[in-house]
Amino acid sequence: MRSLVFRGTQEQAFELTEHDAPEPSAGEVLVDIECTTICGSDLHTITGRRVAKLPIVLGHEIVGTVSALGPDAPRTIDGRELSAQDHIVWSLVVACGACDPCRRRHEERCAKRFKYGHESTNDAPCSGGLSDRCLLRHGTAIAHVPEGLDDRVAASTACAGATAAAVLRRLGNIERDSVVVFGCGLLGLCAIDSAKRAGASRVIAVDVDGDRLARATKFGADAMIFGNDPDDTRTGLSALLPAGADVAIEASGSSTAATIALACLALGGRAAFVGSVFPSDPISIVPEDLVRRRLTVFGQHNYEPRDLLSALAMMRQSSAPYAECFTDPIPLADVGPVLASGTPSALRIAVRP
């Protein structure tokens, strides 16, 4: 099997390697990878913005076909049996199920968590998406890919889609609420689409990229604000929502956007922080402000297995043009220079073996 290993050195960022494919043990599944999409966090690792355990095979948004099953083969999240040639996607986090976070239903923060596309090849040589095979560990949450769903879109449910589903689940009922989404990458677009489908009365998109804002309107945004200037952003939001927003979803990772997200909330508003998955500047919060305005603020990192099923169903049923967010699949042998040079105009680079 082949793997594209990220070494992170100036002399050699990526190396295409060959090694033997492992045999699945009890509860494990060997998968032939069909498509991997490159998340923004992968790009942060490549640029050094995010620390990773090197060397590493990146990629945690993966779709593939079951090649071999070990003894005591697992079932899918919804209880179905797995068979050879099944078309599947899986969660990026494997949890132990026994530690304190797991007992409290925070499996994504498991004390012994294993993450696909995040582990060093010294410890897990067959666990990243930039490869032609992946070994799924015992305890992996697995789902069948719905018929007719584009592989690129299905792969992205394992991160952006399921994370957006987790945010919407935790927000609860947002019917007739006004929603502001900061950051119109794929995560933000999923949040916009999900909010509209959940009955939000008005969804406003904020981004510093005009192309992304234009795309947001295709996903259901009712208005957009070019957020390059914080004062102009505040003024624009005040004009559109004089009483403030019922919900703010911060999906950009910008500390400036996070500050504005809190400030723009209406009395009793709710803010979800989901974009800050790398070191960022601190923001100032006034406790009295939270109390008197009765605000609810929470963070969401990754998701629960049920959110992956929700994301697959949402994207299968949605009329939003998700396929436009991806490049045409680039062969594994050719994608190294593309990744090293930065991201293209599409939101996600798609890779095939």
**Is 180 part of a structural domain of the chain?**
yes
Cα separation, 11 vs 31, in Å, equals 32
Q: Helices in the chain by DSSP H: which ranges?
A: 40-47, 100-103, 151-156, 162-171, 186-197, 210-218, 230-240, 255-263, 287-292, 305-317, 335-341
Q: Which of 252, 292, 287, 286 is nearest to 269 (CA)?
A: 292
209 and 287 in a single domain? The answer is yes
pLDDT at position 110? 94
8-22, 118-132, 192-206: range with lowest mean pLDDT: 8-22
Cα separation, 64 vs 34, in Å, equals 5
25 and 123 in a single domain? The answer is yes
pLDDT at position 8? 85
**Which percentage of the chain shows pLDDT scores above 70?**
98
211 and 126 in a single domain? The answer is no
pLDDT at position 279? 84
335 and 290 in a single domain? The answer is no
Exposure b/e, 3-28, CB count within 10 A at least 16 = b: bbbbeeeeeeebeeeeeebeebeebb
176 and 284 in a single domain? The answer is yes
Q: How many distinct structural domains can be found in the chain?
A: 2
Chain segment 70-129, per-residue pLDDT in tens = 999 999 999 999 999 999 999 999 999 999 999 998 988 999 999 999 999 999 999 999
127 and 47 in a single domain? The answer is yes
Given a cut of 60, is residue 311 above it in pLDDT?
Answer: yes
Asked if 78 contacts 309 with a C-beta cutoff of 8 angstroms, the reply is: yes
Range of the domain at 51: 2-145+321-352
pLDDT at position 99? 96
CATH of the domain at 104: 3.90.180.10
Averaged over 154-173, what is the pLDDT?
A: 98
* Tokens describing residue 186: 């794929």
List beta partners, residue 245: 265
**Is 135 part of a structural domain of the chain?**
yes
44 and 140 in a single domain? The answer is yes
Say how many C-beta atoms besides its own lie within 10 A of residue 243's C-beta.
10
Cα separation, 25 vs 2, in Å, equals 21
Q: What is the torsional sign of CA 136, 141, 147, 153? A: negative
Most confident of 9-13, 238-242, 279-283, 347-351: 238-242
Higher pLDDT, 34 or 277: 34
CATH of the domain at 279: 3.40.50.720
269 and 335 in a single domain? The answer is no
- Residue matched to tokens 């992205």: 156
**Is 68 part of a structural domain of the chain?**
yes
* pLDDT band for position 286 (cuts 50, 70, 90): very high
9 and 141 in a single domain? The answer is yes
* pLDDT band for position 342 (cuts 50, 70, 90): low
**Is 153 part of a structural domain of the chain?**
no
**Is 47 part of a structural domain of the chain?**
yes
Averaged over 51-65, what is the pLDDT?
A: 95
Averaged over 33-46, what is the pLDDT?
A: 94
Chain segment 245-257, per-residue pLDDT in tens = 999 999 999 999 9
Q: Which of 90, 132, 133 is nearest to 115 (CA)?
A: 90
Given a cut of 80, is residue 344 above it in pLDDT?
Answer: no
Residue 97: exposure state from Cβ atoms within 10 A (0-12, 13-18, ≥19): exposed
Q: At what angle do helices 255-263 and 230-240 cross, to 10 degrees?
A: 30
**Is 155 part of a structural domain of the chain?**
no
**Is 308 part of a structural domain of the chain?**
no
51 and 26 in a single domain? The answer is yes
**Is 312 part of a structural domain of the chain?**
no
234 and 325 in a single domain? The answer is no
11 and 105 in a single domain? The answer is yes
Q: Please compute Rg for the chain using Cα positions.
A: 20
Given a cut of 80, is residue 44 above it in pLDDT?
Answer: yes
Higher pLDDT, 261 or 279: 261
pLDDT at position 343? 57
Mean confidence (pLDDT) of the chain: 95
